[in-house]
Amino acid sequence: MGQQPSEMTLYLSLTHNCQLRCNYCYAGEKYHKPMSKETIIKSIDFTLKLPMQKLEFGFFGGEPLMEWELFKFATYDIEHKTKEKNIELIKTFTTNGVLLNKEKVIWLKQHGFYVVISIDGNEAMHNTHRLYANGEGTFKAVQNGIKELQKVYNDGEYAVISVATPENINHLPNSLKYLHQELGINNIHIALNYFANWGDETQTYTKLYHQVANYTIEQYRQGKKLNLDIIDDKIKTEIESSCKSCSFGELKLAIAPSGNIYPCERIIGNDTGALSMGNVHTGFDHSKRAELIAQRGNSNEECKTCPLKERCTNSCGCTNYTLTNSINTTHGTVCFFQKLFIEVADKVASTLYEEENEMFMRKFYGVVSTH
Protein backbone atom coordinates (compact mmCIF):
# COMPACT_ATOMS: atom_id res chain seq x y z
CA MET A 1 0.00 0.00 0.00
CA GLY A 2 3.00 2.28 0.24
CA GLN A 3 2.14 3.71 3.65
CA GLN A 4 1.11 2.60 7.11
CA PRO A 5 -2.45 3.82 7.62
CA SER A 6 -3.81 3.53 11.13
CA GLU A 7 -7.40 3.48 9.99
CA MET A 8 -9.06 1.94 6.96
CA THR A 9 -12.65 1.81 5.76
CA LEU A 10 -14.18 -1.16 3.97
CA TYR A 11 -17.62 -1.16 2.41
CA LEU A 12 -19.21 -4.27 0.98
CA SER A 13 -22.03 -4.00 -1.50
CA LEU A 14 -23.82 -7.28 -0.83
CA THR A 15 -26.29 -6.90 -3.66
CA HIS A 16 -27.42 -4.69 -6.51
CA ASN A 17 -31.01 -5.35 -5.46
CA CYS A 18 -33.38 -3.03 -3.63
CA GLN A 19 -37.13 -2.90 -3.06
CA LEU A 20 -37.15 0.83 -3.71
CA ARG A 21 -36.84 2.79 -6.94
CA CYS A 22 -35.73 6.19 -5.64
CA ASN A 23 -35.28 8.25 -8.77
CA TYR A 24 -32.17 10.00 -7.43
CA CYS A 25 -30.38 6.74 -6.60
CA TYR A 26 -26.81 6.53 -7.91
CA ALA A 27 -26.39 2.85 -7.04
CA GLY A 28 -27.28 1.70 -10.53
CA GLU A 29 -29.77 -0.78 -11.91
CA LYS A 30 -31.59 -2.97 -9.40
CA TYR A 31 -31.34 -6.71 -9.92
CA HIS A 32 -30.72 -9.88 -7.93
CA LYS A 33 -27.00 -10.50 -7.90
CA PRO A 34 -25.76 -11.08 -4.37
CA MET A 35 -22.12 -11.23 -3.42
CA SER A 36 -20.96 -14.83 -3.03
CA LYS A 37 -19.62 -16.09 0.28
CA GLU A 38 -16.30 -16.72 -1.42
CA THR A 39 -16.14 -13.05 -2.49
CA ILE A 40 -17.07 -11.91 1.02
CA ILE A 41 -14.25 -13.98 2.54
CA LYS A 42 -11.74 -12.81 -0.06
CA SER A 43 -12.80 -9.18 0.36
CA ILE A 44 -12.25 -9.36 4.10
CA ASP A 45 -8.99 -11.31 3.86
CA PHE A 46 -7.72 -8.98 1.16
CA THR A 47 -8.47 -5.90 3.26
CA LEU A 48 -7.06 -7.29 6.49
CA LYS A 49 -3.70 -7.89 4.82
CA LEU A 50 -3.32 -4.12 4.70
CA PRO A 51 -1.66 -2.49 7.69
CA MET A 52 -4.13 -0.89 10.09
CA GLN A 53 -5.01 -0.57 13.74
CA LYS A 54 -8.64 0.29 13.19
CA LEU A 55 -11.19 -0.70 10.56
CA GLU A 56 -14.53 0.92 9.85
CA PHE A 57 -16.62 -1.75 8.21
CA GLY A 58 -19.98 -1.27 6.63
CA PHE A 59 -22.54 -2.33 4.10
CA PHE A 60 -23.88 -0.27 1.30
CA GLY A 61 -25.95 -1.14 -1.66
CA GLY A 62 -28.33 -2.23 -2.92
CA GLU A 63 -30.29 -2.78 0.25
CA PRO A 64 -28.06 -4.83 2.58
CA LEU A 65 -30.95 -6.20 4.65
CA MET A 66 -32.28 -8.01 1.56
CA GLU A 67 -29.29 -10.31 2.00
CA TRP A 68 -29.65 -10.83 5.74
CA GLU A 69 -27.89 -14.21 5.84
CA LEU A 70 -24.90 -12.81 3.93
CA PHE A 71 -24.98 -9.73 6.16
CA LYS A 72 -24.62 -11.95 9.23
CA PHE A 73 -22.06 -14.19 7.56
CA ALA A 74 -19.82 -11.25 6.65
CA THR A 75 -20.18 -9.73 10.11
CA TYR A 76 -19.22 -12.93 11.91
CA ASP A 77 -16.26 -13.40 9.58
CA ILE A 78 -14.85 -9.93 10.05
CA GLU A 79 -15.50 -9.93 13.79
CA HIS A 80 -13.55 -13.14 14.16
CA LYS A 81 -10.64 -12.09 11.94
CA THR A 82 -10.20 -8.57 13.34
CA LYS A 83 -10.22 -10.02 16.86
CA GLU A 84 -7.46 -12.43 15.89
CA LYS A 85 -5.41 -9.57 14.48
CA ASN A 86 -6.22 -7.24 17.37
CA ILE A 87 -7.74 -4.65 15.04
CA GLU A 88 -10.36 -2.30 16.42
CA LEU A 89 -13.60 -2.76 14.48
CA ILE A 90 -16.31 -0.14 13.96
CA LYS A 91 -19.47 -1.39 12.26
CA THR A 92 -21.98 0.70 10.40
CA PHE A 93 -24.47 0.41 7.58
CA THR A 94 -27.03 2.39 5.68
CA THR A 95 -30.50 0.98 5.11
CA ASN A 96 -33.77 2.07 3.58
CA GLY A 97 -35.38 0.89 6.82
CA VAL A 98 -38.17 -1.08 5.22
CA LEU A 99 -37.00 -4.48 6.50
CA LEU A 100 -36.04 -3.41 10.02
CA ASN A 101 -37.90 -5.57 12.53
CA LYS A 102 -37.46 -6.65 16.13
CA GLU A 103 -35.28 -9.67 15.34
CA LYS A 104 -32.90 -7.73 13.12
CA VAL A 105 -32.72 -4.72 15.39
CA ILE A 106 -31.78 -6.85 18.39
CA TRP A 107 -29.09 -8.65 16.39
CA LEU A 108 -27.68 -5.36 15.06
CA LYS A 109 -27.59 -3.93 18.56
CA GLN A 110 -25.88 -7.04 19.92
CA HIS A 111 -23.21 -6.67 17.26
CA GLY A 112 -22.74 -2.97 17.84
CA PHE A 113 -23.81 -1.66 14.46
CA TYR A 114 -24.21 2.08 14.06
CA VAL A 115 -27.32 2.29 11.89
CA VAL A 116 -28.09 5.01 9.37
CA ILE A 117 -31.64 5.00 8.03
CA SER A 118 -32.63 6.83 4.89
CA ILE A 119 -35.74 8.91 5.47
CA ASP A 120 -36.03 12.11 3.52
CA GLY A 121 -38.30 13.87 6.01
CA ASN A 122 -42.02 14.09 6.54
CA GLU A 123 -44.38 12.08 4.36
CA ALA A 124 -44.56 14.73 1.64
CA MET A 125 -40.78 15.08 1.36
CA HIS A 126 -40.03 11.37 1.68
CA ASN A 127 -42.62 10.10 -0.78
CA THR A 128 -41.51 12.55 -3.44
CA HIS A 129 -38.72 10.16 -4.38
CA ARG A 130 -38.56 7.12 -2.14
CA LEU A 131 -41.07 4.76 -3.73
CA TYR A 132 -41.50 1.03 -4.13
CA ALA A 133 -41.15 -0.44 -7.61
CA ASN A 134 -44.96 -0.23 -7.96
CA GLY A 135 -44.86 3.52 -7.30
CA GLU A 136 -46.26 3.32 -3.78
CA GLY A 137 -44.64 5.53 -1.14
CA THR A 138 -42.44 3.89 1.50
CA PHE A 139 -42.90 6.46 4.24
CA LYS A 140 -45.09 4.37 6.56
CA ALA A 141 -42.83 1.32 6.30
CA VAL A 142 -39.68 3.35 7.05
CA GLN A 143 -41.37 5.13 9.93
CA ASN A 144 -42.28 1.73 11.40
CA GLY A 145 -38.70 0.56 10.95
CA ILE A 146 -37.39 3.58 12.84
CA LYS A 147 -39.83 2.97 15.67
CA GLU A 148 -38.64 -0.64 15.93
CA LEU A 149 -35.06 0.57 16.09
CA GLN A 150 -35.84 3.15 18.74
CA LYS A 151 -37.23 0.43 21.04
CA VAL A 152 -33.73 -1.04 21.28
CA TYR A 153 -31.26 1.62 20.21
CA ASN A 154 -30.16 4.59 22.29
CA ASP A 155 -29.88 8.12 20.99
CA GLY A 156 -26.22 8.12 20.03
CA GLU A 157 -26.30 4.78 18.23
CA TYR A 158 -28.17 5.69 15.07
CA ALA A 159 -28.83 8.52 12.68
CA VAL A 160 -31.06 9.29 9.76
CA ILE A 161 -30.10 10.69 6.40
CA SER A 162 -32.36 12.89 4.33
CA VAL A 163 -31.72 13.73 0.72
CA ALA A 164 -32.79 17.16 -0.46
CA THR A 165 -33.57 17.65 -4.13
CA PRO A 166 -35.02 20.51 -6.17
CA GLU A 167 -38.35 18.69 -6.10
CA ASN A 168 -38.61 18.18 -2.33
CA ILE A 169 -36.48 20.89 -0.75
CA ASN A 170 -39.43 23.15 -0.01
CA HIS A 171 -40.41 20.63 2.66
CA LEU A 172 -36.99 20.76 4.33
CA PRO A 173 -37.74 23.04 7.33
CA ASN A 174 -40.95 21.18 8.21
CA SER A 175 -39.25 17.86 7.66
CA LEU A 176 -36.43 18.72 10.03
CA LYS A 177 -38.97 19.65 12.67
CA TYR A 178 -40.86 16.41 12.03
CA LEU A 179 -37.78 14.17 12.33
CA HIS A 180 -36.51 15.96 15.41
CA GLN A 181 -39.68 16.65 17.34
CA GLU A 182 -42.15 13.99 16.25
CA LEU A 183 -39.85 11.04 15.59
CA GLY A 184 -37.43 12.07 18.33
CA ILE A 185 -34.29 11.77 16.20
CA ASN A 186 -31.33 13.89 17.27
CA ASN A 187 -28.69 12.83 14.74
CA ILE A 188 -29.69 14.04 11.31
CA HIS A 189 -27.66 14.16 8.12
CA ILE A 190 -29.05 16.33 5.36
CA ALA A 191 -27.45 15.22 2.14
CA LEU A 192 -27.98 16.96 -1.14
CA ASN A 193 -28.63 15.42 -4.49
CA TYR A 194 -25.85 17.34 -6.20
CA PHE A 195 -26.56 15.51 -9.41
CA ALA A 196 -29.98 17.08 -9.92
CA ASN A 197 -30.59 20.15 -12.04
CA TRP A 198 -30.80 22.85 -9.37
CA GLY A 199 -31.48 25.69 -11.78
CA ASP A 200 -31.05 29.21 -10.50
CA GLU A 201 -33.41 29.27 -7.53
CA THR A 202 -30.56 30.35 -5.31
CA GLN A 203 -32.62 32.79 -3.23
CA THR A 204 -35.16 30.09 -2.44
CA TYR A 205 -32.46 27.64 -1.35
CA THR A 206 -30.75 30.31 0.72
CA LYS A 207 -33.99 31.15 2.49
CA LEU A 208 -34.72 27.49 3.24
CA TYR A 209 -31.30 26.79 4.73
CA HIS A 210 -31.54 29.93 6.85
CA GLN A 211 -34.80 28.52 8.20
CA VAL A 212 -32.87 25.37 9.10
CA ALA A 213 -30.28 27.54 10.86
CA ASN A 214 -32.97 29.42 12.79
CA TYR A 215 -34.56 26.17 13.89
CA THR A 216 -31.18 24.91 15.05
CA ILE A 217 -30.50 28.06 17.07
CA GLU A 218 -33.88 27.77 18.74
CA GLN A 219 -33.21 24.16 19.77
CA TYR A 220 -29.96 25.16 21.47
CA ARG A 221 -31.77 27.97 23.26
CA GLN A 222 -34.31 25.48 24.53
CA GLY A 223 -31.59 23.03 25.54
CA LYS A 224 -32.77 20.39 23.07
CA LYS A 225 -30.07 18.19 21.58
CA LEU A 226 -29.71 18.32 17.81
CA ASN A 227 -26.73 17.08 15.82
CA LEU A 228 -27.20 18.36 12.31
CA ASP A 229 -24.21 17.50 10.18
CA ILE A 230 -24.37 20.35 7.67
CA ILE A 231 -24.19 22.81 10.56
CA ASP A 232 -21.90 20.92 12.93
CA ASP A 233 -19.33 19.91 10.34
CA LYS A 234 -18.94 23.42 8.99
CA ILE A 235 -18.65 24.96 12.45
CA LYS A 236 -15.89 22.46 13.18
CA THR A 237 -14.03 23.42 10.00
CA GLU A 238 -13.66 26.90 11.48
CA ILE A 239 -13.18 26.03 15.14
CA GLU A 240 -10.75 23.20 14.47
CA SER A 241 -9.24 24.68 11.27
CA SER A 242 -9.76 21.40 9.50
CA CYS A 243 -12.03 19.83 6.95
CA LYS A 244 -12.69 16.13 6.46
CA SER A 245 -10.48 15.05 3.63
CA CYS A 246 -11.53 12.58 0.97
CA SER A 247 -10.00 9.15 1.54
CA PHE A 248 -10.84 8.11 -2.02
CA GLY A 249 -8.91 4.96 -2.85
CA GLU A 250 -6.26 5.49 -0.24
CA LEU A 251 -7.88 4.72 3.09
CA LYS A 252 -11.17 3.47 1.76
CA LEU A 253 -12.13 0.41 -0.27
CA ALA A 254 -15.57 -0.41 -1.59
CA ILE A 255 -16.19 -3.82 -3.06
CA ALA A 256 -18.95 -4.69 -5.52
CA PRO A 257 -20.79 -8.05 -5.57
CA SER A 258 -18.45 -9.09 -8.41
CA GLY A 259 -15.39 -8.50 -6.25
CA ASN A 260 -14.33 -5.39 -8.13
CA ILE A 261 -12.54 -2.94 -5.85
CA TYR A 262 -13.56 0.74 -6.00
CA PRO A 263 -12.18 3.81 -4.24
CA CYS A 264 -15.58 4.82 -2.86
CA GLU A 265 -18.93 3.06 -2.40
CA ARG A 266 -20.67 5.77 -4.39
CA ILE A 267 -18.67 4.92 -7.48
CA ILE A 268 -19.79 1.28 -7.73
CA GLY A 269 -23.09 2.01 -9.52
CA ASN A 270 -23.58 -0.54 -12.27
CA ASP A 271 -20.12 -1.99 -11.64
CA THR A 272 -18.91 -1.17 -15.13
CA GLY A 273 -15.29 -1.34 -14.01
CA ALA A 274 -14.66 2.36 -14.57
CA LEU A 275 -12.40 3.56 -11.71
CA SER A 276 -12.04 -0.03 -10.49
CA MET A 277 -8.72 -0.64 -8.74
CA GLY A 278 -8.69 -4.39 -9.32
CA ASN A 279 -10.64 -7.37 -8.05
CA VAL A 280 -10.37 -9.33 -4.81
CA HIS A 281 -9.98 -12.54 -6.80
CA THR A 282 -7.07 -11.22 -8.86
CA GLY A 283 -5.57 -8.51 -6.63
CA PHE A 284 -4.95 -4.79 -6.65
CA ASP A 285 -4.26 -2.88 -9.83
CA HIS A 286 -1.57 -0.83 -8.13
CA SER A 287 -0.94 1.50 -11.04
CA LYS A 288 -4.64 2.39 -11.32
CA ARG A 289 -4.85 2.99 -7.60
CA ALA A 290 -1.77 5.21 -7.62
CA GLU A 291 -3.18 7.11 -10.58
CA LEU A 292 -6.47 7.80 -8.73
CA ILE A 293 -4.73 8.91 -5.56
CA ALA A 294 -2.48 11.23 -7.53
CA GLN A 295 -5.48 12.87 -9.18
CA ARG A 296 -7.28 13.69 -5.93
CA GLY A 297 -7.69 17.25 -4.78
CA ASN A 298 -8.97 20.30 -6.56
CA SER A 299 -7.74 21.84 -9.78
CA ASN A 300 -10.21 24.68 -10.34
CA GLU A 301 -8.45 28.02 -10.77
CA GLU A 302 -11.36 29.78 -9.04
CA CYS A 303 -10.86 27.68 -5.91
CA LYS A 304 -7.19 28.52 -5.45
CA THR A 305 -7.87 32.02 -4.13
CA CYS A 306 -11.20 31.27 -2.46
CA PRO A 307 -11.22 32.25 1.23
CA LEU A 308 -13.46 29.26 1.96
CA LYS A 309 -11.29 26.62 0.29
CA GLU A 310 -10.12 25.11 3.58
CA ARG A 311 -13.72 24.64 4.72
CA CYS A 312 -15.09 23.23 1.48
CA THR A 313 -15.53 19.66 0.25
CA ASN A 314 -14.36 20.56 -3.24
CA SER A 315 -11.92 17.64 -3.22
CA CYS A 316 -14.58 14.93 -2.83
CA GLY A 317 -13.47 12.55 -5.55
CA CYS A 318 -16.75 10.73 -6.18
CA THR A 319 -18.89 13.89 -6.30
CA ASN A 320 -16.43 15.60 -8.61
CA TYR A 321 -16.19 12.59 -10.87
CA THR A 322 -19.94 12.09 -11.12
CA LEU A 323 -20.59 15.77 -11.88
CA THR A 324 -17.63 16.68 -14.05
CA ASN A 325 -16.11 13.34 -15.07
CA SER A 326 -12.92 14.47 -13.35
CA ILE A 327 -11.83 13.53 -9.84
CA ASN A 328 -10.38 16.95 -9.10
CA THR A 329 -12.74 19.33 -10.90
CA THR A 330 -15.53 20.82 -8.80
CA HIS A 331 -18.94 21.71 -10.19
CA GLY A 332 -20.68 25.05 -9.55
CA THR A 333 -23.55 23.35 -7.71
CA VAL A 334 -21.14 22.05 -5.09
CA CYS A 335 -19.60 25.50 -4.83
CA PHE A 336 -22.93 27.25 -4.29
CA PHE A 337 -24.16 24.87 -1.61
CA GLN A 338 -20.84 24.64 0.22
CA LYS A 339 -20.80 28.43 0.44
CA LEU A 340 -24.39 28.41 1.70
CA PHE A 341 -23.70 25.71 4.32
CA ILE A 342 -20.74 27.69 5.64
CA GLU A 343 -22.85 30.85 5.76
CA VAL A 344 -25.63 29.26 7.82
CA ALA A 345 -23.22 27.39 10.08
CA ASP A 346 -21.42 30.64 10.85
CA LYS A 347 -24.75 32.26 11.60
CA VAL A 348 -25.60 29.51 14.11
CA ALA A 349 -22.17 29.57 15.74
CA SER A 350 -21.89 33.36 15.92
CA THR A 351 -25.34 33.70 17.46
CA LEU A 352 -24.90 30.99 20.06
CA TYR A 353 -21.36 32.02 20.95
CA GLU A 354 -22.49 35.59 21.47
CA GLU A 355 -25.27 34.33 23.73
CA GLU A 356 -22.84 32.09 25.65
CA ASN A 357 -25.22 29.22 24.98
CA GLU A 358 -24.17 26.49 27.38
CA MET A 359 -25.04 23.55 25.12
CA PHE A 360 -23.16 25.09 22.22
CA MET A 361 -20.09 25.89 24.31
CA ARG A 362 -19.90 22.39 25.75
CA LYS A 363 -20.36 20.72 22.38
CA PHE A 364 -17.86 22.71 20.36
CA TYR A 365 -15.38 24.00 22.93
CA GLY A 366 -15.78 21.60 25.84
CA VAL A 367 -16.39 24.50 28.18
CA VAL A 368 -19.41 26.37 29.45
CA SER A 369 -18.20 29.89 28.82
CA THR A 370 -15.26 31.89 27.56
CA HIS A 371 -16.47 35.32 28.60
Work out whether 222 is an interface residue with another protein (CB under 8 A). no
Work out whether 79 is an interface residue with another protein (CB under 8 A). no
**How far is 13 from 93, CA to CA, in rounded Å?**
10
Site pattern 146..185 for another protein (x: CB under 8 A): ----------x--x-x-x----------------------
Looking at 100-108, 143-151, 211-219, 345-353, which segment touches another protein (CB under 8 A)?
Answer: 345-353
SS3 164: strand
Residue 17 or 227: the one with the smaller Cβ distance to another protein is 227
CB of 225 to another protein, least distance (A): 8
Selected binder of another protein within 21, 33, 54, 331 (CB under 8 A): 331
DSSP code of 242?
-
Residue 9 or 279: the one with the smaller Cβ distance to another protein is 9
Residue 41 or 116: the one with the smaller Cβ distance to another protein is 116
Name which of 150, 84, 159 is nearest 114 in CA terms: 159
Residue 27 or 277: the one with the smaller Cβ distance to another protein is 27
Q: Is 283 exposed, middle or buried (CB count within 10 Å of its CB: 0-12, 13-18, 19+)?
A: exposed
Residue 84 or 354: the one with the smaller Cβ distance to another protein is 354
13: β partners: 60
- Find the helix packing angle between 332-354 and 358-365, rounded to 10°: 120
Residue 60 belongs to what H/E stretch? strand 54-60
Selected binder of another protein within 111, 189, 221, 288 (CB under 8 A): 189
Work out whether 306 is an interface residue with another protein (CB under 8 A). yes
CB of 159 to another protein, least distance (A): 7
**No. of H helices and E strands in the chain?**
13, 11
DSSP code of 71?
H
List, in sequence order, the alpha helices (H) in the chain: 37-48, 68-84, 102-110, 123-129, 139-152, 172-177, 202-221, 229-239, 286-295, 301-304, 317-324, 332-354, 358-365
Considering Cα of 192, then 193, then 194, then 200, what sign does the dihedral take? negative
**How far is 48 from 347, CA to CA, in rounded Å?**
44
Work out whether 227 is an interface residue with another protein (CB under 8 A). yes
Selected binder of another protein within 300, 315, 320, 328 (CB under 8 A): 300
CB of 153 to another protein, least distance (A): 13
Residue 254 belongs to what H/E stretch? strand 252-255
Work out whether 371 is an interface residue with another protein (CB under 8 A). yes
Residue 290 or 359: the one with the smaller Cβ distance to another protein is 359
Q: Is 93 exposed, middle or buried (CB count within 10 Å of its CB: 0-12, 13-18, 19+)?
A: buried
Selected binder of another protein within 46, 71, 139, 198 (CB under 8 A): 198
Work out whether 112 is an interface residue with another protein (CB under 8 A). no
Residue 26 or 285: the one with the smaller Cβ distance to another protein is 26
Ramachandran area for residue 6 (φ above 0: left; ψ -120 to 50: alpha; else beta) = alpha
Selected binder of another protein within 43, 46, 52, 60 (CB under 8 A): 60
Residues that bind another protein (CB under 8 A): 9, 11, 56, 58, 60, 90, 92, 94, 114, 116, 118, 156, 159, 161, 163, 187, 189, 191, 198, 200, 202, 227, 229, 235, 238-241, 265-266, 300, 302-303, 306-308, 330-333, 335-336, 339, 342-343, 346, 349-350, 353-354, 359, 362-371
